[in-house]
Amino acid sequence: MTLERITMFGVAAILLISVMVGLTALLQRTFDVRVSATRLGAATVAGALVELLIEQQFMWRADLATGVQVLLQVLVAVVVAVGLLLASEVIMPSGALPSPLRWPALLRDRASRTGRYGEILRILSRHRLLPPGIPGDAAERREHARELRLALEEAGVAFVKMGQVLSTRPEIVTPEYILELTRLQEQAEPLPSDVVRQAFEESTGVPLEEAFEHFDDEPLASASIAQVHRARLHGGREVAVKIQRPGIAPVVERDLDIARRIALSVEKASPDGGTLGAVDLVDGFAANLREELDFTREARNLAAIAVGLARHDDGVVVPWHSDLSTREVLIMEELPGRTLATEGFLQALPVDERREIADRLFRSLLNQILVDGIFHADPHPGNIMILPDGTVALIDLGSVGRLTKDDRQGLMHLLHAVQVQDAEMLTDAILQVVDRSDNLEVDRLQRALGAFMTARTGPGARADMEMFGSLTRLLARFDLRVPPNLAGAFRAIATVEGTLRALDPEFDVMAEGTRFADEHLGSITNPLDFIEAVKDEAMKALPQLRALPRQLSLIAGDLEHGRTTVNIRAFSDSGDRRFLTFLINELVIAAVGITLAVVATVLVVFGPHVTLQVLGGVIGAIAAILIQRVLYVAFRKPEV
């Protein structure tokens, strides 16, 4: 290769790199493509190599000036590079592959995830859950459900939480599995005392001896997320210190990632994957679990629930908490009572006291759900404590449910409809709180709800998970989905129902719930409350009321002078206008590109002199880029 050729190629390379850097802006403006420096550099080198190959195979005419040859070389390389970039975007869009700088960390995560997959498979195999499937025989299903519960407990906190959430979805799992999944518990080996002390001091920034007058190294309880220790503040107040296990958050995140990948696989593999909502289910419990890992949220939950309990004065309390609490440490008042899960404690209570506790507990939960809109999401016996003076205390508020005002009103109307056995009212109430489809057959739904209400909500009916499961499955047949917050309220009622029956075998949850709803719906008819409601609505409507006289005056003037017209636009929807504009633009670009390609071919093949042939080459490059744009738009993955 001569020195002149080397020089020419070097100049072309410099020009090519300059052009490609400028081409980044062109790609973003013309193709709406953002390319990474790695991809741009690879396309540049590939374009230069292809141009060099073409040059060696098809030598440029010797009578062309060096500048003209360099220009043609750059044009060929640019067209090739742009084509490669667009093809790579169609095959593997930017962002689909992570940056090479992240590959080592991603490989470590992949190795960790693979090891965890192997561990989960070993657990499933040990509990005879492989291959997956649900037995047909009822006795075998019960045994299978028990083994599933044990496997989830062994797999760790994320899978325990997932099982607890599944226990609230009777449209997905059968009653045998719901019964076992509601028994899920989190057990873990206690942490060494030096690890606990170090975790406390790292989180709070305060030495243990400065924070407490006494700290008991022996834990009161040890679970997958945290363990609890007794302590005494310097003022003499006895407290319970909840300390999160060090390093639990990354472990939970890894398991949540695995659970979501499994859910995606289930949805893709199942013919009814779209209706299962497996990914939504996993995302929901993942959000709740992340909340539980942040103890500052539990502290806020305690404060919010405490405000409502104090307002209603139902004889139910939650523990006080210290301002020293952090994301990993929660310091709460140590309550001197015992939980209803304590062996023999509930049976030792006098009958009258048990009935009173049941009344106060259920009324408090209904106040939380239907009045305050924030409630204890898991009121099982282990989270309900009875103090020596008979006060009921709710503990472990890491997870609470929240309902909007519309949700609460809808639930009240639902309970009232059950009370008066009105199927039409029940249908309206349910449609107020669930997500409905456009093709819903309301008459069929009303008849089905009437039959359900007659069979399942009469005197002595049990408001347990089986009843709520039947209702959920009935709604699913009509493509109606109960929102997660309402499902949480149903689960809380169903959870506490068993406790209430244990306290008072004659306790009628359905009757008490409908009576409570009637009391609060009746209070709306109180003259003072009615006036306040009218005032609220009037304040909302005030801006429109102020503008109404002027608008009526303008309309009357137009009618009087014959200026009233009706304007109908063929493409009134902005999305339709954008689509039409896009379609016309692409057709114009395609037409211009094809036209320029024809002109370029004529100039290159039949051009009478070199200048026109070079011009044809430039026009051909422009035509190639325009046609590449049309092809890229046609073949790229459409935006959803």
* Active site amino acids: 378
Amino acid at 625: I
Cα gap 161→177, rounded to integer Å: 15
Collapsed DSSP state (helix, strand, coil) of residue 168: coil
Cα gap 582→203, rounded to integer Å: 55
Beta bridge partners of 338: 386
Nearest partner of 199 among 249, 261, 239, judged by Cα: 249
Nearest partner of 630 among 83, 135, 61, 198, judged by Cα: 83
Distances (CA, A) of 540 to 54, 383, 451, 532, 543: 74, 42, 40, 13, 7
Collapsed DSSP state (helix, strand, coil) of residue 230: strand
Give me the helix-helix angle, 465-477 and 484-503, nearest 10°.
150
Cα gap 522→537, rounded to integer Å: 19
Q: Are 211 and 330 in contact (CB under 8 A)?
A: no
Nearest partner of 365 among 473, 507, 569, judged by Cα: 507
Cβ neighbours for 362, distance < 8 A, ≥ 6 positions apart: 496, 500, 507, 509, 512, 513
Cα gap 318→309, rounded to integer Å: 8
